[in-house]
Amino acid sequence: MSTVVATQVDADADLAEIDKNATLNQKTDIINALATKIVMPGQVLQQSSVQDFGGLVMSGGHGGFEAKGTRTTVNGMPGTVIKKQIVVTGTAVLSNMTLICEGNTPAVVVRNGGRVALKNCHIVKTDNLHSAATDTYVLMETGSYASVVSCVFYGTQANTGSLVRNEDAGNTNRGSIVGCINLTDIAATPFVNIAAGNILGVIP
pLDDT in tens, 27-83: 566 666 677 788 999 899 999 889 999 999 999 999 999 999 999 999 999 999 999
Per residue in 151-197, pLDDT (tens digit) is 999 999 999 999 999 999 999 999 999 999 999 999 999 999 999 99
Q: With beta carbons less than 8 A apart as the criterion, state whether 93 and 72 touch.
A: yes
> How far apart are alpha carbons 164 and 189 in whole angstroms?
9
The reported pTM is 0.87
